[in-house]
Structure 1
Amino acid sequence: MERRTFLRTSVVGAGALTFSGSLWQRAAYAAPAQNAAGPYGALQAANSHGIQLPAGFTSQIVARTGQVVSGTSYTWHRAPDGGACFADGTGWIYVSNSETSAGSGGGASAIRFNSAGTPTSAYRILSGTNNNCAGGKTPWNTWLSCEEVDTGRVWETYPGGGTAAVVRPAMGRFNHEAAAADPVRRVIYLTEDKSDGCLYRFIPTSWGNLASGTLQVLRAGTATSGSFTWANVPDPDGSPTATRNQVSGVKRFNGGEGCHYANDTLWFTTKGDNRVWQLNLANSTYELAYDDNLVNPGPAPLTGVDNITGSGSGDLFVAEDGGNMEICLITPDDKISVFLRVTGQSSSELCGPAFNPAGNRLYFSSQRGTSGSSTGGITYCVTGPFRS
């Protein structure tokens, strides 16, 4: 993953620098992340919330499923999943999906915080949808809530409230998982949670308006690295032929989960093989950023890979669905470590990691909490000296 540094340098200095073959080789064939001590030090004993954190970090419970969010009149939804933060004047808003059926409250909710991080209001921004798993934030500050069912849709929602969510059928009907916006190429990347799933991108007719556009699918070989191209999906509606089966030569990914864009790079996770993939968009190549089978010496710290986000320092934070109930950290120099561990919740999963605008608070949820049920969800906030 040293390609991240390489890309930043080459983009800034394009046309001004000539790279030697050895430097190019080092960037192009960097090994997947390996075990190392974390930048924040060892985990401390579990705190009163059952969370192990590095020294200097603290946690708080922001919301619990079925209970009123403190300082508001809103009851928090079931099975909190993907999430994101949005600036809101002097404070911010945290949005969270609800991965349940329409009849059980599927959709998304939001919590508004003041500058001190105290909730001031909470409310629904999407209702009546199914298995809203992950999603993604747009540059125009909407939240794309994705339905994880075979005929799933993308819903564009409005974190500030007061505006009805809008379905975006041009973005395709398939087992949607996550979305990531690329403002440079003016596209939205989309993952698909199937064992033979694909990676897609949506090119809006007009950037900032998702009402119409072109859905494309990634084509590549079967290896874990190489070059890729994009091909149009003939029928984004996916009926009668699923979108992933309409184009020949597509690259199959085993259970697409979270995705994150930064610095001409897309990172996305696949849970079926415990991998983090890296698309180098400046030169249309792909490679592995992490593979639990390639950690040497082991054991691999990250299994059950799921949602992913990034910090201002370029660190990636990857949440586990199962595993040891950890959020792991991958640094720009290809080192992986455990940032936090939630104890006593082995029947749950961690999801929805997102930083507030200042980058000093990390929100995430335990979808089923200590109960192992969708009615036991807990949403947390971790505060501390995050690298910027």
Structure 2
Amino acid sequence: MITRRQFLVGSLAFGGLATSAFGKQLNVASMPMSEGYGALLPDPQKLLDLPKGFSYNVISSLGDVMSDGMHVPDRADGMGCLPFKGNSNKVALIRNHELHPKHLSAQPESIQQHTSKLAYDNYADGVALPGGTTTMVYNLTTQTVEREFISLTGTVRNCSGGITPWGTWLTCEESVDRPHGPNGDVVNKSHGYIFEVPADADSLIEAKPLKAMGRFNHEAACVDPKTGIVYLTEDRGDSLLYRFVPSEYGNLAAGGQLEALVVKNNPQFDTRNWRSSTMPLATWFDIEWVALDNPESPDDDLRKQGYDKGAALFARGEGMHWGDDELYFCCTNGGKKQLGQVMKLVPSENGKQDKLQLFLESEDKNLYNFGDNLTVCPNGHLLVCEDQYTDIVDNHLRGVTPSGEVYNFAKLHAQTELAGACFSPDGNTLFVNIYSPTKTLAITGPWASA
């Protein structure tokens, strides 16, 4: 099990000198660093550099033939790891494929010809739109994939999502395509929804949109296991943070209320810090939530509706992970230098004293640049996937300690992003995707050593 995290106030928050969790004095004019798991060692395969004692195994690649006869699609993004049918040594890895209709011609031939009545949307010739999920049943003991298949299809740009306490993966469309819109010659239905994929599925499921959870440029989702409330990020420069309060715990299809975050006594608060530092590090802000009407939003105006009601702005909300009574989420280009932020949100038991804090804001692109998906290591550190295509060629997995120090855990040699980082329930294996060409890696090593 992942150990309980008690994240402290980051040492970045204080002026002058601060003391880190490692007993060193830090000049916090720049981002504080940690040794983490140690120096990265060059990978002889020139794929992924890792610290001493860690190794990876490529368990799935673009074009591999799967158990259902289909081939692994490209653009592997968000991913969730869940126990498979109660088996302690098997997990279901449910992997998003961020494919737009325009990407179909670049996919394996089986994807180009795939038709199914279970698909959410199809081209005029009946071929399913290529977005969706694939599922791998992975044996932790033998470290092999036992089954692999398409589990959801016919969607657009399945970017990120999140696992649920009831054993499903929420896969989110980062799209607001609709018939008669810019891509109306391709899509037959409106897009921008969340779909739910059970971890115990054995084959392709029927794609059913959870429309009450909102139609917008979805990114990630995470669930408060106590209440069943689902928190949602939006990948826009003027995005909001949403939550969905379900009518029935564990039954999202039964509907509920979509809401947006408001900073109390600060309507239309700007957390982005682009023009001025309106949100200082480590300062707690009391928050509340406003109800949003018409969540299906045919005009893609939920964020505008929420802002008019006082909702706070965030800079491209992306990866999100639930901890012990708290959650963390990335704002990819937030901060004065637009290199990225990490926010911390602590819900209250009665829902009336929720709090928000800016936990990290990058000042150095060499240390942290465009954080996207994130997860938690067994030792309680955050692990963030970078998603940047700047003058720095290599993307990294960046570690963040409980006191806000950063370190390199892995360096990717290919000019693409790392995505979908998630741990097995026993905390011994990290799974992560290389976006394109698709590769999924299983990484093992001394996770408790840092």
Alignment counterpart, residue 76 of structure 1, candidates 72, 76, 80:
72
Alignment counterpart, residue 158 of structure 1, candidates 195, 198, 216:
198
1:354 and 2:430 are equivalent in the alignment: no
Contact 2:227–2:249, Cα closer than 8 Å, also in 1 = no
Please state which structure has a larger fraction of its residues in strand.
1
Q: Which residue of 1 aligns with 2:131?
A: 106
Q: Which residue of 2 aligns with 1:314?
A: 380
Contact 2:215–2:300, Cα closer than 8 Å, also in 1 = no
Contact 1:275–1:289, Cα closer than 8 Å, also in 2 = yes
For normalisation by structure 1, the TM-score amounts to 0.84
Change (3 A) 1:102 1:338: same
Counterpart amino acid of residue 321 in structure 1 = D
Q: Which residue of 2 aligns with 1:132?
A: 158
Change (3 A) 1:364 1:33: farther
- The separation in 2 between residues aligned to 1:203 and 1:32, in whole angstroms, is 40
How far has the Cα of 1:72 moved from its partner?
8.1
Q: Which residue of 2 aligns with 1:93?
A: 92
- The separation in 2 between residues aligned to 1:349 and 1:318, in whole angstroms, is 11
Alignment counterpart, residue 292 of structure 1, candidates 362, 365, 370:
362
Q: Percent identity?
A: 31
How far has the Cα of 1:167 moved from its partner?
1.5
Shifted more, 95-104 versus 311-320: the winner is: 95-104
How far has the Cα of 1:278 moved from its partner?
1.0
Aligned-pair RMSD on alpha carbons?
Answer: 2.3
Contact 1:106–1:129, Cα closer than 8 Å, also in 2 = yes
Structure 2: gaps (5+ residues): 10-27, 105-129, 177-190, 264-268, 271-277, 335-339
Query: Would you identify which runs of 4 or more consecutive aligned residues in structure 1 move more than 6 Å?
Result: none
Contact 1:57–1:383, Cα closer than 8 Å, also in 2 = yes
For normalisation by structure 2, the TM-score amounts to 0.73
- The separation in 2 between residues aligned to 1:33 and 1:330, in whole angstroms, is 15
Contact 1:125–1:165, Cα closer than 8 Å, also in 2 = no
Alignment counterpart, residue 210 of structure 2, candidates 154, 163, 168:
168
Q: Secondary structure at the match of 1:113?
A: strand
Counterpart amino acid of residue 403 in structure 2 = D
Contact 2:375–2:382, Cα closer than 8 Å, also in 1 = yes
Q: Secondary structure at the match of 1:108?
A: strand
How far has the Cα of 1:184 moved from its partner?
2.3
How far has the Cα of 1:241 moved from its partner?
5.7
Contact 2:8–2:403, Cα closer than 8 Å, also in 1 = no
Shifted more, 91-100 versus 39-48: the winner is: 39-48
Alignment counterpart, residue 229 of structure 1, candidates 269, 280, 288:
288
How far has the Cα of 1:300 moved from its partner?
4.6
